Chain A
Amino acid sequence: MSNLRGNKVRNAVFAIVGLIAMLVSSLTLLALIAALAMDGSSRFSSHFFFSFPSRFPEEAGILSAWVGTSLVMLVTACTAIPLGIAAAVYLEEYGSKNWLTDLIEINIANLAGVPSIVYGLMALGLFVYQFHWGSSILTAGLTLALLILPMVIITTREAIRTVPPSIREAAFALGASKWQTVHDHVLPYSLGGILTGLIIALSRAIGESAPLMTIGALSFVAFLPHPPLQQEFPFLSFQWLMDPFAALPIQTFNWISRPQEEFHLNAAAAGLVLLGMTLAMNALAITVRARFRKRLQW
Chain B
Amino acid sequence: MGTRVPLLDLSHEAGLRTLSQAMTGERTLRRIREWAIEKILLLAALVSIAITAGIVGLLLYESLVFFQSVSIVDFFTDTQWTPLFADAHYGILPLVAGTLVTTAIALLVALPLGTVTAVYLSEYASPRVGEVMKPFLELLSAVPTVVYGYFALLFVTPVLQKIFPALPGFNMLSAGLVIGIMIVPYISSMSEDAMRAVPMHVREGSYAMGATCFQTAFRAIIPSALSGIAAAYVLGISRAIGETMVVAIAAGMQPTLTWNPTQPAETMTAYIVQVSMGDLPHGSIGYQTIFVTGLMLFLMTLVFNIAGHILKKRLRRTA
Are chains A and B native binding partners rather than an unrelated pairing?
A: yes
A160-B149 Cα distance, complex, nearest whole Å? 36
* Contact B45 A210, beta carbon cutoff 8 Å: no
Q: Is B105 an interface residue (CB 8 A)?
A: no
Within the complex, the shortest CB–CB distance from A250 to chain B, in Å, comes to 8
Q: Quick check: A274 and B144 within 8 Å, CB to CB? A: yes
The verdict on A87 contacting B45 (CB below 8 Å), with A18-B124, A210-B269 known, is yes
**Minimal beta-carbon separation of B229 from chain A (angstroms):** 15
Residues in B whose Cβ lies below 8 Å from that of A178? 34, 38
Answer yes or no: B41 CB below 8 A from chain A CBs: yes
Residue B19 is within 8 A (CB to CB) of chain A in the complex = no
- If A22-B137, A274-B146, A282-B139 touch, whether A115 touches B305 (CB-CB below 8 Å) is no
Residue of A nearest to B119 (CB): A18
B245 engages A210 (CB within 8 Å): yes
Of B74-82, B160-168, B295-303, the stretch lying at the interface with chain A is: B295-303
Question: Distance in Å from the Cβ of B25 to the closest Cβ of chain A?
Answer: 16
Instruction: Offer 16 A-B interface pairs, CB within 8 angstroms, sorted by A.
Output: A14-B214, A18-B125, A29-B136, A90-B41, A106-B309, A108-B48, A109-B312, A113-B239, A116-B242, A146-B51, A210-B245, A213-B277, A252-B146, A256-B153, A256-B249, A282-B138
**Stretch among A165-173, A199-207, A222-230 lining the B interface:** A199-207
The answer to whether A117 and B150 touch across the interface, beta carbons within 8 angstroms, is no
Within 8 Å of chain A (Cβ to Cβ): is B208?
no
**Interface residue tally on B, bucketed by range:** 35 or more
Chain A interface, number of residues (Cβ within 8 angstroms): 91
Whether the pair B41, A7 counts as a contact (CB closer than 8 A) is no
Asked if B44 and A83 sit within 8 Å, CB to CB, the answer is: yes
Kindly provide the distance from the CB of B35 to the nearest chain A CB, expressed in whole angstroms.
Answer: 10
Q: Which of A74-107 contact B (CB under 8 A)?
A: 82-84, 86-87, 89-91, 94-95, 101, 103-104, 106-107
Assess the A106–B154 pair: CB atoms within 8 A: no
Give Cα distance in the complex from A200 to B139, angstroms. 10
Contact flags B125-165 to A (C-beta < 8 A → 1, else 0):
10000000101111110111111111101110000000000
Is A21 a contact partner of B120 (Cβ separation < 8 A)? yes
Q: How far is the CA of A89 from the CA of B44 in the complex (A)?
A: 10
Across the interface, A118 reaches (CB within 8 A) one of B55, B145, B154, B184, namely B55
A-B interface, 5 closest residue pairs, ranked by CB to CB distance from nearest: A115-B242, A207-B144, A18-B120, A86-B44, A113-B305
Return the contact of A253 from the options B149, B214, B282 (Cβ within 8 A).
B149
Residues of B50-103 contacting chain A, CB below 8 A? 51-52, 54-55, 58-59, 62
- Of the candidates B49, B135, B249, the one whose C-beta lies within 8 Å of that of A107 is B49
State whether the Cβ of A185 lies closer than 8 Å to any Cβ in chain B: no
Interface segment, one of B8-16, B109-117, B199-207: B109-117
Q: Distance in Å from the Cβ of B23 to the closest Cβ of chain A?
A: 12
Binary contact track A159-192/B, C-beta < 8 Å → 1, others 0: 0000000000000000001110000000000000
Q: Does B215 contact A (CB under 8 A)?
A: yes
Q: Given A89-B41, A113-B301, do A213 and B181 touch, yes or no (CB 8 Å)? A: no
A90-B45, A119-B55 known, 13 other contacts, Cβ within 8 Å: A15-B120, A29-B139, A29-B140, A32-B147, A90-B44, A103-B49, A111-B48, A117-B242, A122-B55, A207-B142, A207-B143, A214-B276, A216-B276
Residues in A neighbouring B217, C-beta threshold 8 A: 14
Q: Is B116 a contact of A115 with CB atoms below 8 Å?
A: no
Whether the pair A207, B146 counts as a contact (CB closer than 8 A) is: yes
Pick the contact of A286: B125, B135, B212, B245 (CB < 8 A). Answer: B135
**Segment from A45-53, A231-239, A264-272 that makes contact with B:** A264-272
Distance in angstroms between the alpha carbons of A210 and B239 in the assembled complex:
14
Once bound together, how far apart are the Cα atoms of A103 and B45, in whole Å? 11
> Does A121 sit within 8 A of B, measured CB to CB?
yes
Chain B residue contacts of A279, Cβ below 8 A: 139, 142-143
**Cβ of A136 to closest chain B Cβ, rounded Å:** 16
Residue A115 contacts which of B113, B119, B277, B301 (CB distance < 8 angstroms)?
B301
User: In the complex, what residues of B have CB within 8 A of residue A112's CB?
Assistant: 305
B37 at the interface (CB under 8 A from A): yes
Which residue on chain A has the smallest CB distance to residue B253? A257
Question: Given A15-B124, A110-B302, A118-B294, A177 and B34 touching (CB < 8 A)?
Answer: yes
